[in-house]
Structure 1
């Protein structure tokens, strides 16, 4: 009888402890400033909060990406620019993220559902416009898996 009581008590303690623990509600995500940037000035805002302002970036010939990215993990919100990491606390997010990217004064705004992918890549490549001319446009792609450069 005491064996059953002790087992039940142990199970209740484990269940109670798991409910009492503080939930980690930090949403992990990353934004990589990627391809087709050629000495372009970039501003990035997330959920209305300006994160990056007037940073000049150029995509690397070998990797195809710039040296600028932002990400959030359990340790906070980070900006990585030219191998210098700066921590800015954390950004309160749910599953949605409002991303504004301005390249050389051109603004692109996207409302993104992070359930579709937490790894975001911003590109500034040429594409055809409605009148069949080549113009640079800002695109944002979402990925569910970590991005591996080949």
Structure 2
């Protein structure tokens, strides 16, 4: 099945080139410059078509048709990996789809674990807060009632001393 698909794609491209050659053969122009230009185009198309057919024959003779392989060469950060990943996504490579599903499940699990850990930390902090509040002594008023009497007595004595001295 894969062999047929690949052969069909080559045949499609070959058919397009053959059609272009046939259409160019059917065109007739008036004028020497135009005719020379058209002849150059026809010659180029015929050569391209012949070269393509020759390459297809070589590929059919020497290729392993189970998988179609392409190699990318280039410098670091040239975008080779991006092209490869794009092709994997566009053609729905089964392995890529499985990897994506696996990564999504791993992300979900990691998120659930993180939420559980967050809940545990939050509960621990709440427990520590409750424990601290239960061990804290109630705040005493800054001035107790028995001290108020002493303060009032001190103020009165202060007035008498100030009155008699000045």
TM superposition score category, shorter chain reference: under 0.3
Looking at CA atoms only, which structure, 1 or 2, has the larger radius of gyration? Answer: 2
Which of structures 1 and 2 has the larger relative contact order (alpha carbons within 8 angstroms, sep 6+)? 1
Q: Which has the higher helix share?
A: 2
Q: Which has the higher strand share?
A: 1
Normalized against structure 2, the TM-score is what? 0.20
